[in-house]
């Protein structure tokens, strides 16, 4: 069985930046991969929030190109990396919803954060996966065992780097980075 491939067509400041193609690890984390795939296609319709279960039109709400110290819910994280998106309910990193309901459990931590271009679930602690995800821009091994890696970028790492270039230490972007379109290729 081949792994599914999905895509994001990204705009930066309203201008086309290119396409990111991602392969999903459906053989390792089938539930997590299916959540992301279905959110790329929008095939599940409307969620409990009343919003479409779809990444199309959502923003990369946090882009951290280098190093920062982030404090969330009294837990300190050191982050060197990331491009985060997937909050299609509120657009600011405080919302999101999975195809299974608001949140779902961590599936497993078999895959590690070993390089740039990995897809991983953003969360607020154990078993709080929804729709938010991030794409690594460097190796981030301290996230192993805390965030489920469920895929990798196979084309368009240059687009990931272009998104990274508009980020800041605070995570705010200098221009809007939007998933203008998305879907499944194979």
Q: Active-site positions?
A: 62, 67, 70, 123, 134, 143, 147
Identify whether the C-beta of residue 53 lies closer than 8 Å to the C-beta of residue 38: yes
SS (H, E, C) 130-181: CCCEEECCCCCHHHCCCCCEEEEEEECHHHHHHHHCCCCCCCCCCCCEEEEE
- Please tell me the distance from the alpha carbon of residue 83 to that of residue 184, in angstroms, as a whole number: 21
End-to-end CA distance of the chain, in Å?
11
- Please tell me the distance from the alpha carbon of residue 79 to that of residue 92, in angstroms, as a whole number: 18
Exposure string for 128-158, b = 16+ CB within 10 A, e = fewer: ebbbbbbbbbeebeebeebbbbbbbbebbbe
């Amino acid at each position: 069985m081949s792994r599914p491939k999905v895509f994001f067509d990204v705009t930066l400041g309203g201008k086309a930046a290119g396409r990111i193609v991602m392969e999903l690890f459906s053989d390792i984390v089938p539930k997590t991969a299916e959540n992301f795939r279905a959110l790329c296609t929008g095939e599940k319709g409307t969620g409990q929030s009343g919003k479409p279960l779809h990444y199309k039109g959502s923003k990369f709400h946090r882009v951290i190109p280098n190093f920062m110290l982030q404090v969330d819910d009294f837990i300190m994280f050191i982050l060197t990396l990331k491009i985060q998106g997937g909050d299609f309910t509120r657009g600011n990193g405080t919302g999101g919803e999975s195809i299974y309901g608001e949140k779902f459990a961590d599936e497993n931590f078999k895959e590690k954060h070993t390089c740039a271009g990995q897809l991983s679930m953003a969360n607020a602690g154990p078993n709080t996966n929804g729709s938010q995800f991030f794409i690594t821009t460097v190796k981030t091994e301290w996230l192993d065992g805390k965030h489920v890696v469920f895929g990798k970028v196979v084309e368009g790492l240059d687009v990931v780097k272009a998104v990274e270039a508009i980020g800041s230490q605070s995570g705010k972007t200098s221009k809007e980075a939007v998933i203008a379109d998305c879907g499944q290729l194979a």
